[in-house]
Amino acid sequence: MKFNKLVPELSVSDIDKSIGFYTKILGFKTEYRREESKFIFLSLQGSQIMLEEINGHWETGKLEYPLGRGINFQIEVDDVNKIVESLKKHNYPMKIMPSDNWYRKGKKLLGCREFLVMDPDGYLLRFSQNLGTRTLAGSSKTEHPASKNQS
């Protein structure tokens, strides 16, 4: 296994609950685990993430639910619908339902089918499936509202 250049490590309140969510519901694979330090390294189709139960070592302030406020992690997958079906099967709620969105990049629109879900500690995960590109027509009215600040 080759490590990505950036791998987020999330502090979680209950490592076993988080492992169940990430592996059984979302489909992440365990790369390695250190049970004695309540740590796990996970991967999904090239994305990597580390989870460690809160232990006081990395805290820079008081941790309150929802953790990770102000950030969401985009995870590109081959099939968003497969994860959506698993979430439904486990009665796990989505924060934002799946939709097809087009984001402007120069004179092209980049398409993705995406949805957001909160993990058990409140971290926002945005799963995204590539829909390809389109040439931007004379009007930018087809843009997704969030793309207005992107270049």
Distance between CA atoms of 26 and 87, rounded to whole angstroms?
A: 8
pLDDT of residue 33 exceeding 90, the answer is yes
pLDDT of residue 145: 46
Q: Does the global pTM surpass 0.75?
A: yes
pLDDT of residue 95: 97
Mean pLDDT computed over every residue of the chain:
91
| Count of Cβ atoms closer than 10 Å to residue 3 Cβ | 10
Mean pLDDT, residues 76-92 taken together: 98
pLDDT of residue 141: 47
pLDDT of residue 142 exceeding 60, the answer is no
Find the range with the poorest average confidence among 52-61, 86-95, 120-129: 52-61
pLDDT of residue 151 exceeding 60, the answer is no
Residues 104/147, Cβ–Cβ less than 8 Å: yes
Residues 113/141, Cβ–Cβ less than 8 Å: no
pLDDT of residue 135 exceeding 60, the answer is yes
pLDDT of residue 137: 81
pLDDT of residue 74 exceeding 80, the answer is yes
Domain boundaries, the chain: 9-55+69-143
For 9-55+69-143, which CATH class?
Answer: alpha beta
